[in-house]
Amino acid sequence: MVSKDEVGRGGGVKMVSKVNKEIGEDGNRSEMILKIEELIEGICKYVGVDGGDMIGRGRGGGVGGGMDEGE
């Protein structure tokens, strides 16, 4: 997790998620379909978001389709 001031406005933020020490997703913020501001705006249409709340999301391509059932 990083704060807004650590991310800045650049697109070169590497995003990696791991499950049981295995890389599940490995990408870059520049690959996101929507800008972070657009994601927050869309989420706020349906739920309340307060300072300190955390929003989690995956990359556009995701990894679910490439996994076998039970993984």
pLDDT tens per residue across span 27-54:
787 777 777 788 889 999 999 988 888 8
| CA–CA dist 27, 15 (Å, integer) | 5
| pTM of the predicted model as reported, rounded to 2 decimal places | 0.51
Instruction: Name the residue with higher pLDDT: 50 or 70.
Output: 50
pLDDT, averaged across the chain: 75
Give the closest residue to 26 by CA, choosing from 34, 15, 35: 15
pLDDT at 47: 93
DSSP class of residue 30 equals G
